[in-house]
Structure 1
Amino acid sequence: MNELAGKLALIGRGIWRNRWLAIAVMWAVGLIGLGVTWFFPERFEAQAKVHVDTMTVLKPLMEGVTFQPDIDQQVKMLGKTLVSRPNVERIANDPSVGLLERGQSSANEKLLDFLMKNIKVDQSGGNNLYAITFRDTDAERARKVVDRFVRLFITSGIEAKQRNSDEATRFIDEQIKDYEAKLADADTKVKEFKLHNMAVANANQQDYFNRITAIRDEISKTTIQLQSADHSREALRRELAKENPYLPGEAASSSSLTPDLDARIEMQKRQLDDLLRRYTEAHPDVFATRRTIRELEAERRRDVQIKLKTQVTPPPGSMAPTNPVYQRLRIELAQAEALVASLQAQIGAYRVRQQEFQTIAEKIPQAEAELMQLTRGYEVVRKQYEQLVNRREAASLGAKMDRNSSMAEFRLVEPPRVSPMPVFPSKKHLAALLMLGSIVVGMAVAFGMTLVHPTVSSERELREFTKRPVLGVLTVLPDPRRESTLRQERLRVLAVVGAYLFIQFVWIGWMVFRSFYGIH
């Protein structure tokens, strides 16, 4: 503290040595400040507050029924883009606002830049409370500018919403027409594909695999039947080759004498042939049938001998025209040939059908993939088309809601008004600052002269300045005449400084009076 007090005392003594220089600089700066204050243009702030109410009764009722944009976000964006160059040009070129100078038809770049920098649109208080402010040297002009921007803010919100609804409806209509064409094209492609691939378009690969398996089973079964029929045919051929087509006359006569027994024997032989096809010679049915045939043949021989005794014997060497066994074998061989041909034809038909099913089954995966791709594209287009139609209905309902009732209500909470007091820095503020500044500048100049032409007034100052030891000190004896002169000097300084302060306070008071009563 002692060191600080010593430094302050040193500064004070330096300023006192150059007191008249400080007073002169103070007066000069003060007078210049009076002129600057007189010609300094004061600015007045005009302000208006607008509240945007986005919460209405209709909004929650229509939620989920129609498309509702984010009104709060739109209002925020509207507030941020309100001070745009087109809007500022519109306000600046309005003759009723008074921004244009006489003879000026349109605003210049300087004026537009000034307006864009000084017009403020800020959220005040809540999220939907906006304050529009503007500062100008003309209070009435500032109020008009704010009033025009308030109107522009309200009308722009309504126009922007209506414009957005119209643009959205027009865009959706264009997209719906485009998707209608895409949907018709996709539908045509699906129909053409189904017509060109009718056999495989709606087929199931598993069904065809089951059919192929069933046909293979039928081929195997028919092949077994064909092998059995072929063996029977070969057996008939061998028997036919061994049989004589003609019979002797005695046999021919005997065959005609016992037709019933011949028929029974023939039937038993057929049954024997059928059993031999299925069983071996050791089977009991085969033994029983052979025993029956032997008994019938023995009975037939007895009957023939009895009947031949009572008939005339034909001439020896005569031959019957045909052999019944031979004819029977030929008939059975023909039937066997027909059966083999039928079975071969069935196997061929089965193989053709198998090849057809195999070809179709091989095409089914590719056809299903192509059909699935076409169907998927069709479904995507159809869903998008249905969504667009639903959104068009929602947009149409939203547009009707916008026309019938406003989803966002703009309320002018505080109309445009101008504060009666000028904003900082006003003339009174500037006058006070200049008064203080002139005093500080005067004292700074006086202290600066002390640094340029330094002097010492004590032993300590001399020792610190010279960095040498002080050998002695001379003491000044009190002198009444010197004290009187010093007292008079102080009075003159106080008078000059007091006069300066009086003039400054009178000037500041006048500025306050003018500002309070609105004298410009």
Structure 2
Amino acid sequence: MNALGKRLPPPRGPINQPRHRNGTLMKDILSQLQWYLPALWRRRWQILGVAWLLCALGWAAVAMVPNEYRVATKVHIDTDSLLRPLLRGLTVDINPMQQINLMQRTLVSRTNLERVARMTDLDLQARNETAMAELLGSLGDRIRMARDRANIFTISFTDKDPQTAYKVVQALLSIYMENNAGSTRREFDSARQFIDSQLQKYEQQMNEAEARLNTFKTQYLGYLPGNTTFVNHLNAKREELKTLDSRLVEARARADEMEVQLSEIPEFVPVEGAPGGPPSGTEVRIMNLEQRIDEMLLNYTDQHPDVVAARRLLDRLRADYEQEMRERSMAAAQFAAATGFGDEITAVDGSVAGGGEAGSDAGRPAQDAGPPVPKMPNSLYQSIKLSLVDAEAQVAALVGARARVEEELAALEKEVDRMPEIQGQLDRLNRDYTMARRNYEQLLERRETATISESREMNADKVQFRVIDPPQVPVLPDGYQRPMLLSGVLIAGLGVGLGIAVLLASFQSNFVSTMRLAQIVGLPVLGSVSMVSHESRFARSLRLTSFGGALSALVAVYAGLMVVELQVGLPNAVPDSVKAEVMQRVQPLIEKVQ
């Protein structure tokens, strides 16, 4: 609160001031600069001291980093072995990255690394097995292989000694060239062995698939697509069932009709001397058959099998009827001669010939007057009874045949539901057989291709390993970019110094300008009183000159380090004794940090 008892407005610094216009924002920025620049200038020695300290440590660390020399060579390697063109489409191609990894693992195998160590005399540095293992591990970690484009590879190695790096890369090339000798023949042999083994495998699979397919076709021959045997058999059974139904209806109707006729005909009749009386059973069958033939001719021709069979049956019945009449005449004559009743028989026969009930009534006085009229089994009754038995037997046979056909038809209709399943099994077997046969035929073609390729390769000089860019002894070190590191250390030192100065300035409590004071207290400032310094102009100039000299010395040291690095390299300028002393003291700290 002020002297009048009014509350003062909250101070509005550069952070909490409203910024509604660009002019206000620019004014805030200028206010910030007016406040920070004097504060940083007062702390210029702190900034420069921090920069000197950090730059000295950083440049020393950069100078202690040893030089690394990288030797690289570009080679053309035929990574596509003979199996690739021969088995294209039959096997999965190897991923390029997997191919690079495989070649690199082959390159850094223990056998190859031991040969490299012996060829470069690096094995002399290992005094025991542990040291040898560490040496081989270090070699394997520093050998790199990269693929630039198809079949172009870069083999590189990094070491502190340029001669050692060159020898290692040269040894790797020598090993590859030695291994390449005779590799073509081994690839052909490997390809032939592989194809032969696959041929045997696919031939066995093809034979097994063909056997399964043939067994299936034999088992379900009538159900296979395109084969009408099953459908025709099913339709034939249905037609046969309909025919049996119609024949069964006719047979039952005929049996019923014979039962009615049998009930109207007496079982015994008087002995007859001459032909006459009611028709016999054969005559009835003849008449019925003639009537049936007439009905059949309304629907069929004379050559129809049923009409032909009926006519044959009619001929047999007529022959039987003639034989029957002869036998009856002979039997009547023998009976009359044995009994002596020829006249009565004649009379009876005459009355019977008259027919009807009058004949039977006329016969009764004769029976009352004399001996009874002899009777004999009615042949018509016996014939109809036999026909009835035949008809009933035919009905029973038709019923049995219908039941059998109905059962077979039901079994066939059940098999119809299995048709999709059978079709699916057939398709699967055909697919397996087709695939096995196709692979087998393709492998046969590939084997012929292998034979032709082998003849061509053995008679031609095909380069499979070619050095495109041979290795060279490096002159300049590789690895860390020391000029960039030196510049980065300088920038980082100055930046850290400025940051510390800004942090210290933010905690100060004095005011560098009247505007800053007015912003903080929220009251107008009428004026300010300047402090009169008793320091001489020479002292101020001396301080400025000292600061400029210290800053120039920092830049000069940076420039000198850059010149040394570009000319001879910082690690070469540092004595080995100094390096050893520094590394001996720094190594424990590194181990603790790790």
For residue 405 of structure 2, the aligned residue among 347, 357, 369 is: 357
Q: Is residue 74 of structure 1 aligned with residue 95 of structure 2?
A: yes
Unaligned runs of 5+ in 1: 248-254, 256-261, 280-316
Instruction: Quote the Cα distance in structure 1 between the aligned partners of 2:282 and 2:497.
Output: 154
> CA-to-partner distance for each residue in 1:418-462, whole Å, 9 max, x for gaps?
8765456333333333344455556667x4797599697965599
Instruction: Quote the Cα distance in structure 2 between the aligned partners of 1:234 and 1:177.
Output: 79
Relative to 1, partners in 2 of residues 1:26 and 1:212: Cα closer, same or farther, differing over 3 Å? closer
Offset of residue 210 of structure 1: 0.9
Write the letter of the residue equivalent to 2:41: R
Give the structure-2-normalised TM-score. 0.53
Instruction: Quote the Cα distance in structure 2 between the aligned partners of 1:246 and 1:394.
Output: 98
Q: Secondary structure at the match of 2:126?
A: coil
> CA-to-partner distance for each residue in 1:111-158, whole Å, 9 max, x for gaps?
969967x8777675x788776766554556667569959969x99x99
Offset of residue 208 of structure 1: 0.9
Offset of residue 43 of structure 1: 3.7
Say whether the 8 Å CA contact 1:121–1:132 is kept in structure 2: yes
Q: Which residue of 2 aligns with 1:14?
A: 42
Say whether the 8 Å CA contact 2:146–2:154 is kept in structure 1: yes
Write the letter of the residue equivalent to 1:244: P
Instruction: Quote the Cα distance in structure 1 between the aligned partners of 2:556 and 2:100.
Output: 50
Q: Which residue of 2 aligns with 1:428?
A: 483
Relative to 1, partners in 2 of residues 1:3 and 1:266: Cα closer, same or farther, differing over 3 Å? same
Instruction: Quote the Cα distance in structure 2 between the aligned partners of 1:6 and 1:91.
Output: 72
Q: Is residue 38 of structure 1 aligned with residue 63 of structure 2?
A: yes
Give the structure-1-normalised TM-score. 0.59
Q: Is residue 348 of structure 1 aligned with residue 405 of structure 2?
A: no
Instruction: Quote the Cα distance in structure 1 between the aligned partners of 2:434 and 2:285.
Output: 74
Q: Is residue 386 of structure 1 aligned with residue 434 of structure 2?
A: yes
Say whether the 8 Å CA contact 2:262–2:385 is kept in structure 1: yes
Offset of residue 393 of structure 1: 2.7
Relative to 1, partners in 2 of residues 1:476 and 1:162: Cα closer, same or farther, differing over 3 Å? farther
Q: Which residue of 2 aligns with 1:505?
A: 559
Q: How big is the alpha-carbon RMSD for the aligned residues of Structure 1 and Structure 2?
A: 6.1
Offset of residue 329 of structure 1: 8.8
Say whether the 8 Å CA contact 2:281–2:383 is kept in structure 1: no
Offset of residue 360 of structure 1: 1.5
Instruction: Quote the Cα distance in structure 1 between the aligned partners of 2:390 and 2:88.
Output: 74
Relative to 1, partners in 2 of residues 1:146 and 1:90: Cα closer, same or farther, differing over 3 Å? farther
Say whether the 8 Å CA contact 1:182–1:381 is kept in structure 2: yes
Offset of residue 387 of structure 1: 0.9
Deviates more, 1:448-457 or 1:490-499: 448-457
Residues 303-314 of structure 1: pairs in structure 2 closer than 5 A: none
Q: Which residue of 2 aligns with 1:102?
A: 126
Offset of residue 40 of structure 1: 0.8
Residues 453-464 of structure 1: pairs in structure 2 closer than 5 A: 460=514, 463=517
Residues 71-470 of structure 1: pairs in structure 2 closer than 5 A: 71=93, 74-79=95-100, 90=110, 93-96=113-116, 102-103=126-127, 105=129, 137=160, 144=168, 174=201, 177=204, 180-181=207-208, 184=211, 188=215, 204-235=233-264, 237-238=265-266, 241=268, 243-245=269-271, 319-320=341-342, 330-367=378-415, 373=421, 376-377=424-425, 379-398=427-446, 401=449, 404=453, 421-423=476-478, 425-438=480-493, 447=501, 451=505, 460=514, 463=517
Relative to 1, partners in 2 of residues 1:380 and 1:495: Cα closer, same or farther, differing over 3 Å? closer
> CA-to-partner distance for each residue in 1:347-396, whole Å, 9 max, x for gaps?
33322222221222222234555687567535523430331221133245
Deviates more, 1:99-108 or 1:385-394: 99-108
Q: Among the aligned pairs, what percent are the same residue?
A: 9
Write the letter of the residue equivalent to 1:13: W
Offset of residue 214 of structure 1: 0.6
Instruction: Quote the Cα distance in structure 2 between the aligned partners of 1:269 and 1:506.
Output: 153
Offset of residue 415 of structure 1: 6.0
Instruction: Quote the Cα distance in structure 2 between the aligned partners of 1:328 and 1:244.
Output: 6
Instruction: Quote the Cα distance in structure 2 between the aligned partners of 1:9 and 1:492.
Output: 20
Q: Which residue of 2 aligns with 1:301?
A: none
Q: Secondary structure at the match of 1:511?
A: helix
Relative to 1, partners in 2 of residues 1:459 and 1:500: Cα closer, same or farther, differing over 3 Å? closer
Q: Which residue of 1 aligns with 2:17?
A: none
Say whether the 8 Å CA contact 1:219–1:350 is kept in structure 2: yes
Deviates more, 1:354-363 or 1:507-516: 507-516
Write the letter of the residue equivalent to 2:483: K
Write the letter of the residue equivalent to 1:41: P
Instruction: Quote the Cα distance in structure 2 between the aligned partners of 1:145 and 1:31.
Output: 38
Q: Secondary structure at the match of 2:66?
A: coil
Say whether the 8 Å CA contact 1:48–1:414 is kept in structure 2: yes
Say whether the 8 Å CA contact 2:202–2:437 is kept in structure 1: no
Q: Is residue 475 of structure 1 aligned with residue 532 of structure 2?
A: yes
Q: Secondary structure at the match of 1:472?
A: coil
> CA-to-partner distance for each residue in 1:260-286, whole Å, 9 max, x for gaps?
xx7xx799999997999799xxxxxxx
Aligned length: 441
Instruction: Quote the Cα distance in structure 2 between the aligned partners of 1:496 and 1:269.
Output: 160
Q: Is residue 3 of structure 1 aligned with residue 31 of structure 2?
A: yes
Instruction: Quote the Cα distance in structure 1 between the aligned partners of 2:429 and 2:128.
Output: 59
> CA-to-partner distance for each residue in 1:180-235, whole Å, 9 max, x for gaps?
5576467557757889xxxx989733321210111121222233344444555555
Q: Secondary structure at the match of 2:270?
A: coil
